[in-house]
Chains A and B, each alone.
Chain A
Amino acid sequence: MNNAQNYTIRARNFLIKEARKLKKEFINAKPFPHIGIKNFLKGYKPLLAAIESGQFYRKDSDLFSFSQTNNLFYSKNLIIQSAVKLFSSQTFSRLISAVSGIKLKAGALDVFGSLYEKTNYLLCHDDRVEDRKIAFILYLSTLSKKDGGSLALYSNKCCHPYKKIISYPPIENSLFIFKVSKVSWHEVEEVLSDKKRYAIGGWLH
């Protein structure tokens, strides 16, 4: 039987110099503060396998069509528990605070696994619910532009999304964060290929 130590999911080390550089990029990003951090975890494959084998539930409304896990806080899978522990840790909230310049509470987050398959999407919205401050997505799959499933960011005009400014195809083991505000208009573009887009996402308060 594996030792519990083998299930530990850790973020790679971040030097102060790198965090400063990331903060500059985050603050200056258009259309609103955001950044993608590549190679975020030290080995993400066990986490992908754990998420892939988990239970997903269809979520379907006017705004979205995709599959989602229950809140991963309640997962019994040790690898997922370890990932949740990382996202709830002071280390994680301090890192995100350092990059975003936003004061965050450690442990105060919701975290879910998501799966987007062919024709799945999440239409444009701003993510503002309660006191969410930062949204984060850890991608566990890589999709190219032609596969769809990119995260598209929109500019704001008169309190509505206006123009698509940039879109980011998911890259496995990259952490994408953005500041939640009344202008954080974003969408997950429709998945066009048979590739599966796995991610873990949530919000820091």
Chain B
Amino acid sequence: MINKVYLEPRILKKLSEGFGDNNPKGVQLTSFMDKDFYALFLRGISNANFIKKDVRDMHSFFEAKNTKLNSFSTREFLSFCSVLSGKKIKKAECSLRMFMKGCYTLIHEETAKKGIEFFFDLTPKWNEKFGGQITYLAYDGSKGITPQYPNNLILAESGRSYVKYVNRFAGSEGRLIVYGRLE
């Protein structure tokens, strides 16, 4: 599943150090999945059916129902995230989310569980002017907008991220992301 480059001990060590040095703690890994595995993964979710999840003071997006995201519960993935984050991770709770125009998530510090989260980006083509950027709020109040690439994994401490409101420029385009919480 994971691109072999990221499994080299030297790289893994560097990434793990980078995770702790960032504010908030986290890393971004482009071309995260092995190319062939990524193609298979995309095929596996191609028939997903989405339902609206709308709690307007927290989030508004579409979530796939009954989509199996087993790849993110494998020992390989959980061990990899444990090494990177330095936390013992035993399980993942994930959902496949589609952000169409009008969709967003908000930071809710009072309800956000402390832990590790990830975003796995599946959007092939996206224009920044559509909004929808995965944004991280640093502890000094500054914001970091993560660049958008398909097959991109962001692994970070939870409770500091939001998906910016998708505006009308997006038209009928949607941003497809796997979001997961790791425990």
Contact = CB atoms under 8 A, between A and B. Distances in A.
Interface of A: 60, 62-63, 65, 119, 121, 123-126, 154, 160-161, 185, 187, 190, 192
B110 interface: no
Given A62-B104, A62-B107, A63-B106, A119 B169 contact: yes
Nearest to A125: B57
Nearest to A192: B168
Nearest to B163: A62
A62 B56 contact: no
Contact of A185 (B57, B104, B167): B57
Q: Please indicate which of the listed interface residues A62, A124, A154, A192 has the most CB atoms of chain B within 10 Å of its own CB.
A: A62
Contacts, number: 41
Contacts of B23: none
Given A62-B104, A63-B106, A190 B56 contact: no
A13 to B, nearest CB: 39
Contacts of A65: 165
B129 to A, nearest CB: 8
Interface residues of B, number: 19
Interface string B135-177: 1010000010000000000000000001011011100000000
14 contacts: A62-B162, A62-B164, A119-B167, A121-B167, A123-B56, A125-B57, A154-B56, A160-B55, A160-B56, A160-B57, A161-B55, A161-B57, A185-B57, A190-B167
Interface of B: 55-58, 102, 104-107, 131, 135, 137, 143, 162, 164-165, 167-169
A81 to B, nearest CB: 31
Nearest to A63: B106
A124 B56 contact: yes
A98 to B, nearest CB: 31
A62 B106 contact: yes
Contacts of A190: 102, 165, 167-168
Contact of B135 (A62, A154, A187): A62
Contacts of B56: 123-124, 154, 160-161, 185, 187
B135 A119 contact: no
Contacts of B162: 62
Contacts of B102: 190
A60 to B, nearest CB: 8
A62 B131 CA distance: 11
